[in-house]
Chains A and B, each alone.
Chain A
Amino acid sequence: MRKKKRNDLKEAAIGAFFFTSGILAVLVLIGIFLTLLATAVPAFREIPVGKFFGHSRWDPTSPEKAEYGLLSMIASTLLVTAGALLLAVPIGIAVAAYLSDVAPWRVREVLKPVVEILAGIPSVVVGFLGLVLFGPALARLFHTANGLNALNGSILLAVMSLPTIISISEDSLNAVPKAYSEASLALGASRWQTLVRVKLPAALSGIVAAVMLGLGRAIGETMTVLMATGNARSFPRGLLSSVRTMTADIAIELGEAPYFTTHYYALFAIGLVLFVMTFAVNLAADVVLRRYQERER
């Protein structure tokens, strides 16, 4: 009897141990949010919130008057991200459709790991290639001084978000019940018609979620945009202007900002904005994906 009791205790302790490591993910996520919040709030003792979000001049080290307007960086982030999605969404969905509906089984087994390789290239290497490969090419193409601009960043971010968009879109195309396409083919529709009019609409919510996850990745990407977009602080005037995104600004200035100054707190405020933006996008993607999976069951 006593041995059983001791065993029960041991089992309970082990269960508790595993539970603790399980709950850790929640604690880390909450911890990140609260840390950013606590470190960002002191910035607003000196910076009016309306000015932070409503003005576009960012010059924290100005000797006369430090300016903390985030607007041009928000616009830059959105511009570069929008450009990336414009490129990555059609290509990503087309590749997913190719892999799920056109490619022979053997070709597909080879190509899927190849797409995974693309996801494995470190962002700093992609940024480096933006600098040395895409930059000069874009400069020649558009006759600009250098090719370090929003377009360059968009191309690189498209490359980086493609694997996410491809793999999740392909999963959701494959998850469309066989009966749907069989019914369509039996009614005399071609494979192309079945793909476009039956499978893609049926997989739409999964594809939307894929695009949103790709969007989240693009918003938060740092090294590629830091190295390839030129980092000018002015408000972006188009895809060919040099821009500085929120992520790049943190990477550039955190090393120079002395600890626990308004500038330092302001950079954490940018981090908080980034966190909230990506969290919202990912949460939305999650809701779409869950609802879709529940319906399919």
Chain B
Amino acid sequence: MKRPARKKIAQALGFLALRLAMAVVLAVLILLLGDIVRKGGGAISWEFLSQAPRRGMTEGGIFPAIVGTFLVTVITAVLAVPLGMSAAVYLNEYARQTRLTRLIRLSIRNLSGVPSIVYGLFGVILFVNALRLGTSVLSAGLTLGLMTLPWTITAGEEALKTIPDSYREGALALGATKWQTIRTNVLPYAVPGMLTGTVLGLARAAGETAPILFTGAAFYLPALPKSPGDQFMALPYHLYIMATQHHAILKVRPLAYGTALVLIFLVLGMNMAAIVVRYRLRKKQR
């Protein structure tokens, strides 16, 4: 009788420890988000969202940073989405199990592990200097685009994998060529899934700071960027400056909290939208 009782106690204690670990993670998440929402909420107003910073960035809003983050994300998407999708099509539809295919997959997995600051260094050399794009929205967007590429490829492949082979075989049996099959029987069903995965990657890119530090983000600009060759203000960089580089850090703390809230709202909003859509898609496919 003694042994089974001890076994039960061990299990109860063990499971309690696991539950505690989960509780710790949830508590940290609530602590982090709660602090930002509580202290950032007061800073949010229509003025904060729609006006430029004033008086050495001690007053006013973050409108130029919102615009800048939007613009740079558009360029990121223009590079990373089409390239990522076509690479995914190659890997899932064309590639055979060769050494080269394994090398491509290995490269993709390793690219997603390259530190973001290293992408920044690469962007400085390739886009800012070699291609003479200077520090600009374009350079920063392309740098972020390269960083996002492995994520969009993986997301695209995941979506293509969910399309049953019978779809492809049906078209091929009717005499369609490979591309006709992909165009009519694979892509139309895979694109929604590919796009949701892509949004997750773009959300991460929009929140990144290190790759844009030296490729185009600016401390403060009196005007919005007029062309892709101009420098820009960005939400993550603005938060970094307001938190560490400003001449009156404690005075602008509420503005920093407000910026953090807007950034989190934007990034997590994109994330959650994608997660919800993906969940629905999966349910439909079952």
> Complex formed: what's the CA distance from A70 to B86 in Å?
41
Contact indicator A32/B104 (Cβ below 8 Å)? no
The reply to whether the CB of B2 lies closer than 8 angstroms to some CB of chain A is no
* Residues of B close to A10: CB separation below 8 A: 179
The reply to whether the CB of B264 lies closer than 8 angstroms to some CB of chain A is yes
The reply to whether the CB of A240 lies closer than 8 angstroms to some CB of chain B is no
> Complex formed: what's the CA distance from A166 to B179 in Å?
39
Of A15, A36, A213, A267, the contact of B122 (CB 8 Å cutoff):
A36
Contact indicator B239/A25 (Cβ below 8 Å)? no
B77-114 interface code vs A (CB 8 A; 1 in, 0 out)? 00000010011011101110000100110111111011
Number of chain B residues close to chain A: CB under 8 A:
87
* Residues of B close to A23: CB separation below 8 A: 100, 104
The reply to whether the CB of B158 lies closer than 8 angstroms to some CB of chain A is no
Of A99, A193, A219, A259, the contact of B7 (CB 8 Å cutoff):
A193
> Complex formed: what's the CA distance from A100 to B241 in Å?
41
The reply to whether the CB of B126 lies closer than 8 angstroms to some CB of chain A is yes
Contact indicator B107/A31 (Cβ below 8 Å)? no
Of B18, B117, B203, B239, the contact of A120 (CB 8 Å cutoff):
B203
B1-42 interface code vs A (CB 8 A; 1 in, 0 out)? 000000110110011011111101110110111011000000
A86-114 interface code vs B (CB 8 A; 1 in, 0 out)? 00001100110111011100000001011
Dominant SS among interface residues on chain B: helix
The reply to whether the CB of A19 lies closer than 8 angstroms to some CB of chain B is yes
Contact indicator A271/B118 (Cβ below 8 Å)? yes
* Residues of A close to B19: CB separation below 8 A: 98, 102
CB of B217, distance to nearest CB on chain A (Å): 11
Q: How large is the interface on A (under 10, 10 to 19, 20 to 34, 35 or more residues)?
A: 35 or more
A38 nearest CB neighbor, chain B only? B125
> Complex formed: what's the CA distance from A128 to B204 in Å?
17
Known: A7-B177, A223-B240. A117 touches B104 (CB 8 A): no
Contact indicator A220/B264 (Cβ below 8 Å)? no
For this complex, 25 residue pairs linking A to B, each with C-beta atoms less than 8 Å apart, are: A11-B179, A14-B179, A18-B89, A18-B94, A31-B122, A32-B114, A97-B18, A101-B18, A103-B22, A121-B32, A122-B208, A122-B209, A125-B32, A133-B35, A162-B25, A190-B10, A192-B14, A196-B14, A221-B115, A222-B116, A223-B210, A223-B236, A254-B120, A275-B114, A279-B113
